[in-house]
Amino acid sequence: MNHVSPPGYWKEDGKRKLILVVRQDRYKVDEERHALILKDWKMEIPFSGRLRWSGVQGRLEIHIINNRFYAYIPVDVGRVVAKRSGKLVKDSLIIHGERGKIQISSPKGNKVASVDLGINMLATVIVDDGTVLFYRGSVVKSDYFYFQKKIAELDRLKSEAEKIQEVEAREEVLEERKRLFNKLYRRLLHYYRTLASHLAKALWNLGVSTVYLGYPYFISQDKGNKFTVNIWSYRKLIEAIMNKLHEYGIKTFLVVEYNTSRYCAYHDVEVVRKPRGLTSSPP
């Protein structure tokens, strides 16, 4: 080692990220008073929300985003003993949340379901007993167009502020623009999680034990547009669905959909897609 330097700062867009990292044993979570106790600073920070998981706490990270404080606490769910020694962990290092295990139930039956992800119809689900579920994406698309209209108006104001060299006005417009982008992102994330929660519970009630989830591989490259690039983040949606299905004990298998609309899976030849929505292949 030729050079030793202190650790650097986390940066985002060339600016330092406002983040506070606290070691595992230097803070405590008071469940009754809903407060984080920072021992080194002799400070108590009240928090809102619920504690979902029970287990050994990890390092605390406090982020400042849009003048709001967010505390992130990783939890080793269900573990109350040390990994190496096997001794019980101190009670001050254990968070007592609502759930002590990730899987909350087991499948009711042995049915199989297939999930196809799309653009207008975000998720189409078919169960082997003939049940079909549809999840539309039109509501989120309308939100996207609404926010895009607002952001376009802010871009116009930013250009006008730059022409007359109003630096403060330009910074205010940029802050508002960033706020709208973050709000749109939170709405999309909320929609993904809501869809995943409803889908997992519905499949569990139908007795599904195995799900084949189609992954639209290379869709942003082959059919790149504002929907596949700007709106839908299929990777985040797939992660939300898989995590929720795991809670119900449902096995999930990813199936790459690349070229499945161009080639017949039975004859392994290229198909003709005409008229729209219909495919024909040689007998």
Whether 116 and 245 share a structural domain: yes
CATH number of the domain within which 249 lies: 3.30.420
Looking at residue 277, its pLDDT comes to 58
Asked if omega into 275 is within 30° of 0 (cis), the reply is yes
Task: For residue 167, give its domain range.
Answer: 111-256
Whether 188 and 228 share a structural domain: yes
pTM assigned to the model:
0.78
Last residue in a domain, options 71, 95, 119? 95
Task: Give domain status of residue 75, yes or no.
Answer: yes
pLDDT tier for residue 197 given thresholds of 50, 70 and 90: very high
Bridge partner list, 116? 124
Whether 115 and 243 share a structural domain: yes
Instruction: Tell me how many domains the chain contains.
Output: 2
Whether 29 and 165 share a structural domain: no
Is pLDDT at 219 greater than 80 in this prediction?
no
Strands 43-46, 94-95: pairing is unpaired
CA distance 179 to 66: 7
| pLDDT tens, position by position, 129-145 | 999 999 988 888 888 88
**Which residue do the tokens 């623009």 mark?**
177
Nearest to 19 by CA among 58, 70, 55: 70
CA distance 272 to 279: 6
Whether 91 and 118 share a structural domain: no
| pLDDT tens, position by position, 83-121 | 888 888 888 889 988 888 889 899 999 999 999 887 788
Report how far apart, in Å, the C-alpha atoms of 159 and of each of 176, 202, 270, 276, 277 are.
14, 49, 50, 43, 44
| pLDDT tens, position by position, 166-187 | 888 888 888 899 889 888 888 8
Looking at residues 61-71, what average pLDDT do you find? 84
Last residue in a domain, options 95, 126, 148? 95
Task: Give domain status of residue 40, yes or no.
Answer: yes
CA distance 88 to 201: 35
Is pLDDT at 281 greater than 90 in this prediction?
no
Whether 43 and 86 share a structural domain: yes
CA distance 175 to 15: 14
Whether 91 and 117 share a structural domain: no
Looking at residue 8, its pLDDT comes to 67
Whether 135 and 219 share a structural domain: yes
